[in-house]
């Protein structure tokens, strides 16, 4: 009887410990959600003065940014953020996928052992270093090579027309962003591709498929949600990048019509102006409103991406 009581006591203790550990892990898991809500609420209250003064549609779709005259149009900054991020992701994704496939499927183990630390090193480089590199290398390259090429041969293509022959602009910012997010996308995609069991590869090769056919028809379909998740992570980082883009994008609040146009992303607006000219009425609230808009844009982007991933997983 005593042994039974001891066993029950041990089981009860284990159950209590499991419940306690479950609550701790749940709290740790829910903490980022709570922190995001706290940040969003704090930004909303700090931006409330301008939200109560102007209609939200006037702020989001206004095209003029003249705080001295009480004009706070966020549209050029929102479009600038979208343009630079889109160009960066478009430039990064194809190369990153090819590199990831090579490392996961073709490369020798020694090549992987060399490539992985280099990718980690690239991911750890401070953004300001990328910005200086873009300022010294990418901006002159765009100005001297790509802009004249587009002006002479590709000017009939709307997105490639050169309206201002300068190296500072969306293309330079996109190239810098592409290089910055590449290590993240490559690393995550490589890990995702490595999760595919070798038995599936051997089965495909065993029925006569080539290695590329195996990758295209077996490996990639199995890991497509993970690949999309890696791209989403890279795009999320690109959306919030500040210093590197700020140094090469031109920082002119206009509505872009070409990748060679200058732009002024939301993070650059906040970094450039917060703490200055606070004597202007509602200026502080406008900048914190821009931060709130950026947070909402990133949240919407991640939520939509999550929904797409879940739909793909259900189809599988």
* pLDDT number for residue 250: 85
Evaluate if residue 164 carries a pLDDT over 60. Answer: no
Evaluate if residue 306 carries a pLDDT over 80. Answer: no
Please report which helix (H) or strand (E) contains residue 33, including its range: helix 2-53
Assign 90 a pLDDT band (cuts: 50, 70, 90). very high
Tens digit of pLDDT for each residue in 7-26? 777 777 788 788 888 888 88
In this structure, are residues 225 and 309 in contact, taking their beta carbons and an 8 Å threshold? yes
How many CA atoms does the CB half-sphere of 258 hold within 13 Å?
A: 20
Assign 100 a pLDDT band (cuts: 50, 70, 90). very high
Tell me how far apart the alpha carbons of residues 14 and 290 are, in angstroms, rounded to a whole number: 50
Assign 56 a pLDDT band (cuts: 50, 70, 90). confident
Tell me how far apart the alpha carbons of residues 65 and 77 are, in angstroms, rounded to a whole number: 9
* pLDDT number for residue 152: 59
By the 10 Å C-beta count (0-12 exposed, 13-18 middle, 19+ buried), 260 is classed as buried
In the chain, % of residues over pLDDT 90? 11
In this structure, are residues 203 and 287 in contact, taking their beta carbons and an 8 Å threshold? no
DSSP summary character for residue 66: E
Mean pLDDT of 245-264: 86
How many degrees, rounded to 5, is the angle at CA 53 between CA 49 and CA 54? 120
Q: How many CB atoms lie within 10 A of CB 192?
A: 21
Tens digit of pLDDT for each residue in 292-305? 888 888 888 878 77
Evaluate if residue 92 carries a pLDDT over 90. Answer: yes
By the 10 Å C-beta count (0-12 exposed, 13-18 middle, 19+ buried), 110 is classed as exposed
* Residue 172, both tokens: 């330079």
Q: 3-class DSSP state for residue 188?
A: helix
* Residue 249, both tokens: 């994008």
Tell me how far apart the alpha carbons of residues 29 and 43 are, in angstroms, rounded to a whole number: 23
Evaluate if residue 131 carries a pLDDT over 80. Answer: yes
Backbone angles phi, psi at 277, to 5 degrees: 55, 35
Assign 166 a pLDDT band (cuts: 50, 70, 90). confident
* pLDDT number for residue 156: 58
Q: Which of 111, 80, 100 has its CA nearest to residue 252?
A: 80
In this structure, are residues 205 and 211 in contact, taking their beta carbons and an 8 Å threshold? yes
For the ranges 150-154, 187-191, 225-229, which has the lowest average pLDDT? Answer: 150-154
In this structure, are residues 78 and 60 in contact, taking their beta carbons and an 8 Å threshold? yes
In the chain, % of residues over pLDDT 70? 89
In this structure, are residues 233 and 187 in contact, taking their beta carbons and an 8 Å threshold? no
* pLDDT number for residue 1: 53
- CB-based contacts of 159, cutoff 8 Å, min separation 6: 258, 259
By the 10 Å C-beta count (0-12 exposed, 13-18 middle, 19+ buried), 86 is classed as middle
pTM of the model: 0.83
Q: How many angstroms from the chain centroid is the CA of residue 6?
A: 55
Tell me how far apart the alpha carbons of residues 215 and 196 are, in angstroms, rounded to a whole number: 10
What is the rounded average pLDDT for all residues in the chain? 83
Evaluate if residue 281 carries a pLDDT over 90. Answer: no
Q: Between these two residues, 67 and 308, which has the higher pLDDT value?
A: 67
For the ranges 11-15, 79-83, 190-194, 247-251, which has the lowest average pLDDT? Answer: 11-15
């Amino acid at each position: 009887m005593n042994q039974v009581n001891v066993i029950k006591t041990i089981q009860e203790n284990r159950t209590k410990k499991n419940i306690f550990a479950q609550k701790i892990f749940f709290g740790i898991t829910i903490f980022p959600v709570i922190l995001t809500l706290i940040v969003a609420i704090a930004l909303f209250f700090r931006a409330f003065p301008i939200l109560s003064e102007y209609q939200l549609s006037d702020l989001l779709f206004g095209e003029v940014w003249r705080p001295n005259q009480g004009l706070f149009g966020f549209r050029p900054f929102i479009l600038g953020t979208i343009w630079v991020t889109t160009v960066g992701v478009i430039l990064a994704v194809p190369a990153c996928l090819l590199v990831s496939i090579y490392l996961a499927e073709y490369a020798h183990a020694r090549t992987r052992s060399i490539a992985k630390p280099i990718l980690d090193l690239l991911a750890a480089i401070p953004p300001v270093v990328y910005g200086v590199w873009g300022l010294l290398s990418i901006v002159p390259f765009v100005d001297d090579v790509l802009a004249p090429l587009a002006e002479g041969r590709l000017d009939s293509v709307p997105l490639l027309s050169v309206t201002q022959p300068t190296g500072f602009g969306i293309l330079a910012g996109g190239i810098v962003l592409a290089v910055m997010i590449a290590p993240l996308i490559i690393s995550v995609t490589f890990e995702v591709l490595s999760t595919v069991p070798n038995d599936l590869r051997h089965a495909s090769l065993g029925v006569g498929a080539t290695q590329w056919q195996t990758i295209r028809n077996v490996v990639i379909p199995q890991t497509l949600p993970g690949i999309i998740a890696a791209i989403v992570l890279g795009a999320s980082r690109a959306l919030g990048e500040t210093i590197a883009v700020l140094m090469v994008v031109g920082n002119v609040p206009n509505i872009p019509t070409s990748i060679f146009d200058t732009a002024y992303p939301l993070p650059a607006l906040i970094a450039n102006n917060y703490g200055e000219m606070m004597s202007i009425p509602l200026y502080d609230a406008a900048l914190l409103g821009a931060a709130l808009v950026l947070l909402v844009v990133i949240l919407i982007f991640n939520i939509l991406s999550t929904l797409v991933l879940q739909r793909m997983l259900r189809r599988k």
